[in-house]
Amino acid sequence: MFFSANKLCRFHIDATDGECGKVKDFLFDDVLNITRYIVVNTGGWLIERQVLISPVAVSQPDFDSYVLPTVLSKKNIEDSPAIQSDLPVSRQHEHNMALYYNWPMYWDSINSSTNTSVTVEPKQIEGDPHLRSVSEITGYHIQCMEGAVGHVEDLIIDTESWCLRYLIIDTRDWLPSKKVIIAFDWITHITWEDRKVHIDLTQNQVKNAPTYDPRLPVNRAYETQLYDFYGRPSYW
């Protein structure tokens, strides 16, 4: 199922023995475009304590009740290592958390699949430079072939695979006001230092693209219309 990241950030975490916090953000791999962690605020009114939960520990969101179920208990979540609000999350913290939850360490599988050395480099100790925040990218300018064309208003996450599937673009500051979506696969690169997402599309393509209505679901019929309009091969 496809869900807006902004809407998912209103969801409460439902542990096996009761509610335990609220979704605050998502951390994703900016190379593979996959959600690595769900950031959960387990604190009360006065104390904000943030912990990370892997998508492998959650079930499908319940949109009617705004609940994200998890297989973890309240104690599992509340006693897990807390994180600082600033990125990057240190690899040591990820290592400690993987040990705490008995989760596989995803960077080992990446190293293995790419036949790279598993030697820990200094940058890995400090933190994974490819681990980014969804809230960080929100507001970034969209840079097409001719220039700016809008800004990132939201992201759409596939909660079956936890891939980041689409960017929701608001064009009102550059073009006649409308919202469109573009696939993450059409991003050529992101320049984090100047907060720009670069895409290999023209301004006219974005201007004339099918309008995105947040009240309607992103389903296969809409995706087919979108990919046909852009003339791009479908991922499915």
- pLDDT, tens digit (0-9, with 9 covering 90-100), for 203-225: 999 989 999 999 888 999 999 99
Region for 195 from its dihedrals, namely left if φ exceeds 0, alpha if ψ lies in -120 to 50, beta otherwise: left
The residue segments making up the domain with residue 101 are 2-132
Q: How many separate helices (H) and strands (E) can be counted in the chain? A: 8, 14
Judgement on whether residues 127 and 170 belong to the same structural domain of the protein: no
Judgement on whether residues 124 and 182 belong to the same structural domain of the protein: no
Tell me which of 52-61, 105-114, 142-151, 177-186 is least confident. 105-114
Tell me the C-alpha to C-alpha distance, in Å, between residue 70 and each of 16, 34, 59, 101: 7, 19, 6, 13
| Cβ(11)–Cβ(22) below 8 Å | yes
More confident residue, 111 or 236: 236
Percent of the chain with pLDDT over 90: 58
Q: What is the pLDDT of residue 138?
A: 94
Q: What is the pLDDT of residue 48?
A: 74
Q: How many domains does the chain have?
A: 2
More confident residue, 113 or 176: 176
Judgement on whether residues 153 and 194 belong to the same structural domain of the protein: yes
Judgement on whether residues 110 and 183 belong to the same structural domain of the protein: no
For the chain, the average pLDDT equals 85
Domain boundary among 132, 151, 175: 132
Residue 235 falls within a domain, yes or no? Answer: no
Tell me which of 20-34, 115-129, 137-151, 179-193 is least confident. 115-129
Residue 95 falls within a domain, yes or no? Answer: yes
Tokens 């689409």 locate to: 166
pLDDT at 124 over 90: no
Mean pLDDT of 169-180: 84
pLDDT bin (cut points 50, 70, 90) of residue 122 is very low
Domain boundary among 100, 132, 164: 132
Judgement on whether residues 39 and 94 belong to the same structural domain of the protein: yes
Judgement on whether residues 76 and 143 belong to the same structural domain of the protein: no
Compute the distance between CA of residue 177 and CA of residue 175 in angstroms, rounded to an integer: 6
Judgement on whether residues 127 and 146 belong to the same structural domain of the protein: no
Q: What is the pLDDT of residue 116?
A: 40
DSSP state at residue 155 = E
